[in-house]
């Protein structure tokens, strides 16, 4: 009788695990599955187990392809199952092609006389998913804010980053969810970052994969009125609750969708963008709404110079700009008072009031 042994965390079972167990079981007559104990999982993965060890063992034992289940409690990296392996002396240790502890496991097999078998990559029966993907999905929020950027936009794109520069933005409400999205789509408000977060994806990586910057998922995850350092990855300088903006922000739909990836390579005045980010950073630090409006005006002037159409002015308006860095989408307006903002919003169905959002308020 040929005994086959496999090991892993198996913290949240999915179809990929079942396929691996079937392929490993086909190598012999008996399959033993070892899973890392809750203590080992916490030590090396930095997360709590999804189930108590005895529950996980019972679940694995219920699978028809599994003949026995043991718990790995050792502290040697990649070999938490060592004691059980030496006790059982299996004929085969089966692993996947991306196993990160190949050297240690091959040495163990040489020591015990077991065969080290790398299961070839076969077409998955289901779309591949990892435990980390599942954990992000489970932890994904039910609702998320969108955002308005005030200064420094484009300097969150890694290839445009400038040392000593800043990006200033604010998470806004009303919130959105997978089933309730009250804003226009492709609006320049960071919707793709919010969508990634709501779907349990790593938002920063998703945005960078699009060839754009990280500011959308960064502020949507962080919330508040935020000042970020320009660079290849999010680095928060400081944030406030955004109370200086309460009752003073509004959006107006321009009638055309927004497209950031399509304009990322256009020529633009990055010196002006840097100045706007620095001015916005200083204004947030001083809680100076007028200074923040000045930063918005610098950004807007650069947008018009780039070729975007001029936006309509309004009574009591301090400043306005296109939300995001592309053409179309929403225009963001900053007002001197709540009364001026509300009068602007009530004049058209294409306008709406928004407020700064800080998680936990």
Higher-scoring residue by pLDDT: 138, 197: 197
Please tell me the total count of domains within the chain.
Answer: 2
| Closest listed residue to residue 352, CA positions, set 332, 326, 322, 327 | 332
Q: Do 102 and 249 share a domain, yes or no?
A: no
User: Which among 112, 137, 162 is the end of a domain?
Assistant: 137
Both tokens of 282, joined, read 């200083």
Q: Do 110 and 144 share a domain, yes or no?
A: no
Q: Do 10 and 29 share a domain, yes or no?
A: yes
Q: Do 48 and 166 share a domain, yes or no?
A: no
Can you give the pLDDT at residue 262?
A: 76
Q: Do 338 and 207 share a domain, yes or no?
A: yes
Ranking 150-164, 216-230, 255-269, 306-320 by mean pLDDT, the lowest is 255-269
Ranking 75-84, 158-167, 204-213, 275-284 by mean pLDDT, the lowest is 204-213
Between helix 270-286 and helix 289-306 the angle, nearest 10°, is 170
Can you give the pLDDT at residue 132?
A: 67
Residue 152 lies in a domain: yes
Can you give the pLDDT at residue 274?
A: 97
State which residues form the domain around 218. Answer: 140-356
Residue 180 lies in a domain: yes
Phi, psi of 142, rounded to the nearest 5 degrees: -80, -30
Residue 188 lies in a domain: yes
Interatomic CA distance for residues 171 and 248, integer angstroms: 14
pLDDT at residue 237 greater than cutoff 90: yes
Which range is most confident: 120-124, 301-305, 332-336? 332-336
Mean pLDDT of all residues in 217-232: 94
Can you give the pLDDT at residue 218?
A: 92
Higher-scoring residue by pLDDT: 40, 337: 337
CATH classification at residue 347: 3.30.230.120
pLDDT at residue 142 greater than cutoff 80: yes
Residue 7 lies in a domain: yes
User: Which among 137, 172, 189 is the end of a domain?
Assistant: 137
Can you give the pLDDT at residue 15?
A: 83
Mean pLDDT of all residues in 229-239: 95
Mean pLDDT of all residues in 335-339: 97
Question: Given pLDDT bands bounded at 50, 70 and 90, which one contains residue 121?
Answer: low
Ranking 124-138, 144-158, 167-181, 337-351 by mean pLDDT, the lowest is 124-138
User: Which among 137, 170, 196 is the end of a domain?
Assistant: 137
Mean pLDDT of all residues in 106-125: 86
Answer for the pair 250, 341: CB distance below 8 angstroms, yes or no.
Answer: yes
Give the model confidence (pLDDT) of 4-37 as tens digits.
Answer: 999 998 888 888 889 899 999 999 999 999 999 9
Q: How far is CA 205 from CA 155, 185, 210, in A?
A: 16, 21, 9
Q: Do 156 and 113 share a domain, yes or no?
A: no
Both tokens of 119, joined, read 């299961």
Can you give the pLDDT at residue 131?
A: 63
């Amino acid at each position: 009788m040929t005994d086959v042994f496999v090991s892993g965390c198996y913290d949240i079972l999915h179809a990929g695990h079942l396929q691996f167990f079937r392929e490993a079981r086909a190598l012999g007559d008996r399959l033993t599955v070892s899973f890392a104990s809750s203590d080992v999982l916490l030590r090396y993965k930095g997360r709590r187990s999804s189930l108590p060890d005895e529950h996980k063992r019972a679940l694995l034992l219920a699978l028809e392809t599994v003949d026995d289940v043991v718990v790995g409690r050792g502290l040697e990296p990649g070999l938490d199952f060592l004691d059980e392996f030496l006790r059982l002396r299996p004929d085969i240790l089966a692993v996947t092609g991306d196993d990160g502890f190949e050297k240690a496991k091959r040495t163990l097999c040489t020591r015990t006389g077991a065969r080290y078998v790398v299961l070839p990559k076969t077409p998955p029966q289901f779309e591949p998913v990892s435990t980390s993907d599942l954990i992000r999905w489970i932890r994904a929020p039910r609702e998320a804010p969108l955002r308005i950027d005030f200064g420094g936009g484009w300097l969150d794109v890694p290839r445009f980053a400038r040392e000593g520069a800043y990006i200033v933005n604010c998470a806004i409400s009303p919130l959105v969810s997978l089933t309730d999205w009250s804003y226009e789509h492709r609006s320049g408000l960071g919707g793709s970052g919010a969508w990634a977060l709501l779907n349990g994806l790593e938002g920063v990586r998703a945005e960078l994969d699009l060839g754009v910057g990280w500011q959308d998922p960064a502020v949507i995850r962080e919330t508040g009125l935020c000042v970020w350092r320009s660079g290849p990855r999010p680095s928060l300088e400081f944030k406030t609750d955004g109370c200086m903006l309460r009752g003073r922000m509004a959006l107006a739909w321009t009638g055309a969708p927004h497209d950031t990836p399509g304009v990322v390579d256009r020529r633009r005045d990055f010196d002006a963008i840097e100045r706007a980010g620095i001015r916005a950073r200083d204004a947030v630090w001083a809680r100076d709404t007028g200074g923040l409006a000045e930063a918005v005006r610098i950004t807007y002037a650069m947008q018009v110079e780039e070729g975007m159409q001029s936006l309509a002015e309004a009574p009591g308006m301090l400043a306005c700009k296109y939300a995001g860095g592309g053409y179309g989408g929403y225009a963001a307006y900053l007002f001197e008072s709540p009364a001026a903002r509300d009068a602007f919003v009530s004049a058209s169905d294409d306008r709406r009031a928004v407020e700064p959002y800080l998680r936990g308020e």
